[in-house]
């Protein structure tokens, strides 16, 4: 999928106006989701660029970090500490349907654009406030990044080998989850406004999103008062499930259910395992994981990943080669699902990005605009949207406001 001309194909959010005052990942991802489905998103950032623009690696002096979360947006530069900034922000708030910000709670109030002020400027405004610990509670004013969310929510305590240290996820899972929750919250609030005319505050906390994603371990604690230990790559509830080494690399095999275990035994030509009463139940197989994994590992060690995959596929047993990022990015499945998309930037050339995982028959997400450079759309935002004159623009540039 390649870039189309702006507004060539209206999306389901066509005509929805979004003011993006966020930075880093969660907020920008939230607004990019809205932009992918047609919302007009104006991203504001300081004239020297938000912090993310100064994180490598770089493509032609531009941080590729910025390519992840900023396509389909109009970018306008603004020094929010400048005396003229407040008036500009207020006019943009009056223009917007939805405002997204992810400052620490209390910051936008100090800037003079807290929710109460926003409602004075735009009575039906929707404000999506994304923060570390939320707008309420004893930890609400604490600073937070993704790793802190993983540690504080309980996620890190669950990740890693049983006899090892707690570890981080390999990606910014808290920020991604929070970004999607923010988009859901924005859409729910917009639907409510369409029905009632009422705007509202949407309060999204990274801590909350991670806590809500702890799954069965959380339920075990809430309902049974029991802590479930780290399990590494094993499944929490069934066995045998783990990573096994083939002759030419690792693969993951999930054969822990009552129907799958006998199929694996048949593939391995081990009827003795299938008929052993010790392994007849999930509980029995869980108790004998070490032994079963040793037998499966001995079987995989003498075979290639390809031959194992072929045998497991024929038997209907879930499996996956432990793929590298390079391998999965080049896979036919990724191509078939449009999960790598491209946009042509007039200065940076072709930009390749992850596609949107939300697939819709009638109103699919589109790449309409390449990720912009800082202030790339100043003229559009300040002159087309706000109606400033060229002389006004020159004055703002001269003063350092934009």
What are the helix (H) ranges across 74-135?
Answer: 85-95, 107-111, 115-121
Average pLDDT of the residues in 333-347: 96
Average pLDDT of the residues in 306-321: 98
**Burial of residue 276 (number of CB atoms within 10 Å: 0-12, 13-18, 19+):** middle
Confidence of residue 9 (pLDDT cuts 50, 70, 90): confident
Is the pLDDT assigned to residue 1 strictly greater than 50?
Answer: no
How large a percentage of the chain has pLDDT more than 90? 96
Interaxial angle between packed helices 260-267 and 305-315, expressed in degrees from 0 to 180 and rounded to the nearest 10: 130
Is the pLDDT assigned to residue 203 strictly greater than 80?
Answer: yes
Confidence of residue 324 (pLDDT cuts 50, 70, 90): very high
Residue 4, pLDDT score: 42
Dist. CA 254–CA 202, nearest whole Å: 39
Residue 10, pLDDT score: 87
For this structure, is 175 an active site residue?
yes
Average pLDDT, the chain: 96
Average pLDDT of the residues in 294-321: 98
In the set 20, 75, 146, 175, the catalytic residue is: 175
Residue 8, pLDDT score: 63
CB contact at 8 A, 288 and 279 = yes
Alpha-carbon distances, residue 26 vs 101, 131, 209, 248 (angstroms): 10, 9, 11, 38
Parallel, antiparallel or unpaired: strands 73-77 and 340-345: unpaired
Q: What is the largest CA-CA distance in the chain?
A: 86
Dist. CA 196–CA 242, nearest whole Å: 51
Residue 229: DSSP 8-state:
P
Average pLDDT of the residues in 303-309: 98
Token pair belonging to 226:
């029991």
Dist. CA 53–CA 68, nearest whole Å: 11
Is the pLDDT assigned to residue 88 strictly greater than 50?
Answer: yes
Is the pLDDT assigned to residue 250 strictly greater than 80?
Answer: yes
Is the pLDDT assigned to residue 28 strictly greater than 80?
Answer: yes
Dist. CA 170–CA 179, nearest whole Å: 17
CB contact at 8 A, 366 and 11 = yes
Average pLDDT of the residues in 378-387: 97
Q: Which of 21, 36, 189 is nearest to 112 (CA)?
A: 21
Residue 352, pLDDT score: 97
| 218-245 pLDDT, tens digit each | 999 999 999 999 999 999 999 999 999 9
Is the pLDDT assigned to residue 2 strictly greater than 90?
Answer: no
Fold topology of 241-327: formyl-coa transferase, domain 3 (3.30.1540)
What pTM does this model have? 0.94
CB contact at 8 A, 180 and 33 = yes
Dist. CA 197–CA 371, nearest whole Å: 33
Residue 3, pLDDT score: 40
Domain map of the chain by residue range? Answer: 17-213+331-399, 241-327
One of 3.40.50.10540, 3.30.470.20, 3.20.20.540, 3.50.50.60 is the CATH number of 17-213+331-399, namely 3.40.50.10540
Residue 5, pLDDT score: 46
Confidence of residue 6 (pLDDT cuts 50, 70, 90): very low
Is the pLDDT assigned to residue 87 strictly greater than 90?
Answer: yes
């Amino acid at each position: 999928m390649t870039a189309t001309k702006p507004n060539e194909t209206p999306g389901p959010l066509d005509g929805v106006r979004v003011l993006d005052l966020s930075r880093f990942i969660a907020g920008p991802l939230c607004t990019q989701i809205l932009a992918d489905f047609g919302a007009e998103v104006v991203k504001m950032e300081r004239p020297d660029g938000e912090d993310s623009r100064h994180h490598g690696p770089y493509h032609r002096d531009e941080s590729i970090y910025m390519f992840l979360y900023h396509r389909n947006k109009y970018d306008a530069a603004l020094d929010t500490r400048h005396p003229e900034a407040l008036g500009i922000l207020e006019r943009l708030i009056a223009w917007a349907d939805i405002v997204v910000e992810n400052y620490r709670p209390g910051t936008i109030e100090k800037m003079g654009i807290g929710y109460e002020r926003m409602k004075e400027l735009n009575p039906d405004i929707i404000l999506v406030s994304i923060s570390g610990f939320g707008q309420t509670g004893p930890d609400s004013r604490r600073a937070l990044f993704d790793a802190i969310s993983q540690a504080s929510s309980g996620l890190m305590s669950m990740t890693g080998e049983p006899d090892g240290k707690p570890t981080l996820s390999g990606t910014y899972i808290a920020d991604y989850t929070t970004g999607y929750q923010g988009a859901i919250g924005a859409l729910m609030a917009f639907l409510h406004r369409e029905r009632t005319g009422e705007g509202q505050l949407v309060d999204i906390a990274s801590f909350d999103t991670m806590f809500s994603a702890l799954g069965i371990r959380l339920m075990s604690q809430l309902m049974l008062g029991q802590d479930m230990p780290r399990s590494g790559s094993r499944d929490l509830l069934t066995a045998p499930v783990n990573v096994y080494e083939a002759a030419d690399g690792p693969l993951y095999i999930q054969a822990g259910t009552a129907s799958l275990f006998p199929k694996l035994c048949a593939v391995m030509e081990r009827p003795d395992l299938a008929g052993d009463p010790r392994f007849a139940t999930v509980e029995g197989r869980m108790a004998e994981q070490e032994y079963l994994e040793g037998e499966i590992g001995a079987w995989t060690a003498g075979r290639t990943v390809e031959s194992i995959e072929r045998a497991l596929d024929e038997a209907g047993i879930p499996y996956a080669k432990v793929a590298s990022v390079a391998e999965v990015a080049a896979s036919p499945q990724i191509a078939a699902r449009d999960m790598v998309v491209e946009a042509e930037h007039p200065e940076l050339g072709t930009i390749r990005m992850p596609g949107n995982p939300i697939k819709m028959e009638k109103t699919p997400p589109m790449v309409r605009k390449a990720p912009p450079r800082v202030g790339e759309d100043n003229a559009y935002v300040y002159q087309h949207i706000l109606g400033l004159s060229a002389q006004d623009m020159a004055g703002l540039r001269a003063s350092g406001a934009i």
